[in-house]
């Protein structure tokens, strides 16, 4: 009688241990299965490129005069400024599109740290900058820079058609559609990979949007998600580019 009363609790304990082992094994097996499924994913990239036209042209025209008589040098600089303004007016540039910068005067004798005191003592520099939304008009004006040289204007290195910078400011309007298209292209690539491997594309595991790049329309892309090396400032036509990187789970 005493032996039976002792064995009953032991049997219950054994049954509980057995149930615990079975349940624990089932839970562990489920977790291992989930881990294996979680390791089955593919990383794909979705590329989108758009060709757009610049909407702003910026053209800084810098000119300088030099001499030993400051009032005369300043007067000549003012003549140059008026010549530049007349040139822009003749090209159809509106007054509101023109800004005149401050005059910069250099006195080489006053520069105690300067070692080059040869030549004229005074140098007067000034910049007239055009900013316009009519990029074609400014590009056409840039082709006539030689007229300034013929008028006796000593232009600086920032001048000439190569000095015109073309900008595209409509990127924010393009971003939503381009991101959607890039993601769709990424999924198409994942579907092709899954079909070749006998799988199906599942949910997104992770996703990252690349940086939008703007370069010259004829620039060559590097293929690593970035644009070409050209900043595109000298080109009216631009290439807007973005690459989305997405990880998709693969399911049987």
Mean pLDDT by 10-residue block, N- to C-terminus, for the chain (252 residues)? 53 54 43 50 93 96 93 95 96 96 90 69 94 96 90 64 84 95 93 87 89 89 53 90 93 81
Contacts of residue 8, Cβ cutoff 8 Å, sequence gap at least 6: none
State the sign of the Cα–Cα–Cα–Cα dihedral 17, 18, 19, 25.
positive
pLDDT tens-digit series, residues 86-127: 999 999 999 999 999 999 999 988 865 656 667 899 999 999
Contacts of residue 114, Cβ cutoff 8 Å, sequence gap at least 6: 108
Residue 109: what pLDDT? 85
- Closest-CA residue to 182 (of 44, 41, 42): 44
Residue 13: what pLDDT? 53
């Amino acid at each position: 009688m005493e032996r039976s009363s002792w064995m009953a609790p032991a049997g219950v304990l054994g049954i509980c241990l057995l149930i615990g082992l079975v349940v624990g094994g089932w839970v562990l097996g489920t977790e291992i299965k989930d881990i294996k499924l979680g390791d089955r994913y593919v990383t794909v990239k979705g590329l989108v490129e758009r060709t757009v036209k610049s909407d702003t042209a910026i053209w800084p025209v810098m000119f300088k005069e030099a001499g030993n008589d400051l009032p005369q040098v300043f007067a000549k600089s003012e003549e140059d400024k008026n010549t530049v303004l007349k040139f822009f007016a003749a090209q159809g540039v509106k007054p509101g599109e023109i800004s005149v910068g401050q005059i910069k005067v250099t006195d080489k004798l006053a520069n105690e740290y300067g070692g080059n005191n040869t030549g004229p003592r005074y140098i007067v520099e000034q910049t007239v900058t055009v900013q316009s939304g009519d990029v074609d008009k400014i590009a056409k004006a840039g082709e006539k820079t030689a007229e300034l040289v013929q008028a006796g204007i000593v232009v600086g290195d920032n001048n000439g058609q190569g000095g015109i910078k073309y900008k595209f400011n409509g990127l924010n309007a393009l971003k939503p559609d381009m991101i959607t298209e890039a993601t769709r292209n990424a999924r198409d690539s994942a579907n092709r990979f899954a079909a070749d491997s006998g799988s199906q594309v599942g949910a997104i595991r992770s996703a990252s949007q690349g940086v939008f790049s703007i370069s010259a329309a004829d620039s060559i892309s590097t293929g690593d998600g970035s644009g070409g090396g050209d900043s595109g400032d000298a080109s009216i036509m631009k290439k807007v580019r973005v690459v989305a990187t997405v990880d998709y789970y693969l399911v049987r």
